[in-house]
Structure 1
């Protein structure tokens, strides 16, 4: 079955008709993640794609939600580019992945999958089929780190050497100099989730992310998405919010989900007023211990690897950018457009870099 229709995002019954929950509930996908849940896609279509053409592809044992957009019609995996998470189609086995890849390619449209996990069953099958039917452009990107949890992580501090343990004790002492330290781990219902999410967003906006405009508060697409997702995930009982408090103030916050046997960290932020005690690191230590204590299998750092994640996680899921262009006029036009856009971006970055150098030299 292939479904493609325009559905107003404000029409809940129409959205349910487009994305029937029963299809997801009947799935037992390989490598389950929050990005393969019904509520993830419901939040995507309700907030990002108002009056866009949503395309739901379902086959026996497989499902993938796309949005069709652009002057040159292109299929974009729902939410993959806007949220930058390692999203992928959902499929029960290799045969289902084969059928799903064929269903996608049969549309004979350019396809953009974002930056999904590399080396998965679907990624390998899609790549092999796409290369026979058009041009597949791939490029490795930063991976997504994770920790394989075991009993030892229940006392995470003990896993570090003496110097690192001393660092953490020093951070804690500095925090206690400013007030009583407390850690809160919330499993909120829908109404409480909205309040707690806003508090977490406020904390994140008080960090360096506000200067680089990478905070949720600076990105309306992500802001709207997480507000909707928080409520839906809380209804499902999987939404989590964690705080580190110093006195009455929230010094650090995490926005998370707990499902599929793992703890999924979407966002972390801290108030720079408390930077000297590294509240984000202290909260991370407690958060990992909590996850291990609950018997979870993994602690997943969503998004991309960064310097601070390497401190915690030695394992990483590789990711790959996937853009497909079919052997037809539309595919050729889309390829030319994307190549031109990449060229303009590189030129812009070069000019920006030169201007910065001149400014630093006092000549600009």
Structure 2
């Protein structure tokens, strides 16, 4: 059965300053759980509104927030009517909770205790950094209670070590031949006008550049599939609120690749502590033969490697992303983890089995859709008249 919502703290009831102070002290960064981002998501983004929060407070300073995890019911997250809480999804594919650097284990204890005060029997940590200090803190406190986290699925996605020289990083990743080919494409691109890389940082600059990004995103395949942000009022409202708000704190940039006066690629980049997060990318597909998304990512790599405030970047992309995987050769382990709240609880076994069955069903459905699309393309090609 769903967890009674009245026993949880509404996300909007968490004081923004206490939340921000915790984010500043977090043992592991997550730009998607910054208050300016997640509160905007919770206000209007499709399927991501109405979240609650598990909170942990310091024993020594009761007003000091030391742990925070946005949550929703398993019914809302997965359409499973079972007594569990799931990470609130912040649009970006990272749901690592915020734990205080100086009190990480006590913060983990506090979040688990807060979950136990509801009717929940388990916590589902979705898109979790499974090898970082937050997961280590949870594993430590669970072990004391005779419990263990259960990995449901995991994968590795591209990340960037930004501590080195940008050109050296790109040369090591792509090699001389590939870089030469990309330089040749850039020279051909310059025949259409001066090529330059631009970074919007000030809130008013970010707001203006965001509109260009939204238009580009909707002009491509995301627009054709109906998944571009600007195509849905709630999604557009969330990003138009979040990006300038985070820019006020230096936590959001819009990067752009321009040819003359025209923007041919743009992306949204979040910053939390010393890590950047590459949220989304939009390109003008009329310039597809010049690889504008790749060209923008090369410039972003140089930009991040030259910034002394950034030491790493999370692509937040899928595990086999064809564009960014060859460029950012580091890998970040991400997964879904089920945390039982009580020992030897048969209901947790039921929850785990239901989640696995759901995942396998969705995978089967995706394969069926891909097969039907492939068959449709082949049939269309066969029916084309010969010239």
Q: 1:279 — aligned with what?
A: 292
Q: What aligned pairs does 1:45-194 form with structure 2 within 5 A after superposition? A: 45-48=42-45, 52=50, 54-60=52-58, 62-69=66-73, 70=75, 71-79=81-89, 82-85=91-94, 87-93=96-102, 94-100=104-110, 102-103=112-113, 106-107=116-117, 108-127=120-139, 129=142, 132-133=146-147, 136-150=150-164, 152-153=165-166, 161-189=175-203, 191-194=204-207
Does the residue aligned with 2:128 lie in a helix, a strand or coil? coil
User: Cα distance, 1:174 vs. partner?
Assistant: 1.7
Query: What is the distance in 2 between the residues matched to 1:339 and 1:157?
Result: 39
Q: 2:385 — aligned with what?
A: none
Query: Do the aligned residues in 1 keep the contact of 2:33 with 2:95 (CA within 8 Å)?
Result: no
Q: 1:348 — aligned with what?
A: 365
> Please, which moves more after superposition, 153-162 or 90-99?
153-162
- The structure-2 alpha-carbon separation of the partners of 1:114 and 1:231, relative to structure 1 and needing over 3 Å to count, comes to same
Structure 1 unaligned segments of length 5 or more: list them. Answer: 8-14
Query: What is the distance in 1 between the residues matched to 2:229 and 2:49?
Result: 24
Query: What is the distance in 1 between the residues matched to 2:267 and 2:51?
Result: 33
- Does 1:304 pair with 2:301? no
After TM superposition, the score normalised by the length of structure 1 is 0.80
Query: Do the aligned residues in 2 keep the contact of 1:30 with 1:91 (CA within 8 Å)?
Result: yes
Does the residue aligned with 1:116 lie in a helix, a strand or coil? strand
Query: What is the distance in 2 between the residues matched to 1:164 and 1:350?
Result: 32
- The structure-2 alpha-carbon separation of the partners of 1:34 and 1:134, relative to structure 1 and needing over 3 Å to count, comes to closer
Q: Deviations over 1:118-141 (max 9, x none)?
A: 122331343462894587342212
- The structure-2 alpha-carbon separation of the partners of 1:4 and 1:357, relative to structure 1 and needing over 3 Å to count, comes to closer
After TM superposition, the score normalised by the length of structure 2 is 0.76
Query: Do the aligned residues in 1 keep the contact of 2:37 with 2:242 (CA within 8 Å)?
Result: yes
Query: Do the aligned residues in 1 keep the contact of 2:157 with 2:316 (CA within 8 Å)?
Result: no
Query: What is the distance in 1 between the residues matched to 2:84 and 2:338?
Result: 10
Query: What is the distance in 2 between the residues matched to 1:24 and 1:314?
Result: 31
- Does 1:315 pair with 2:362? no
- The structure-2 alpha-carbon separation of the partners of 1:137 and 1:265, relative to structure 1 and needing over 3 Å to count, comes to closer
Q: Deviations over 1:311-353 (max 9, x none)?
A: 2112111112113455557646644543553454355346546
Residue of 183, 202, 214 corresponding to 1:201: 214
- Does 1:19 pair with 2:32? no
**C-alpha RMSD of matched pairs (Å):** 3.5
Structure 2 unaligned segments of length 5 or more: list them. Answer: 1-6, 59-64, 76-80, 380-387
Query: Do the aligned residues in 1 keep the contact of 2:56 with 2:110 (CA within 8 Å)?
Result: yes
Query: Do the aligned residues in 1 keep the contact of 2:87 with 2:95 (CA within 8 Å)?
Result: no
Query: Do the aligned residues in 2 keep the contact of 1:66 with 1:75 (CA within 8 Å)?
Result: no
Does the residue aligned with 2:160 lie in a helix, a strand or coil? strand
Q: Deviations over 1:14-47 (max 9, x none)?
A: x3x4234224315512122323433233223323
Q: 1:39 — aligned with what?
A: 36
Q: How many residues align?
A: 350
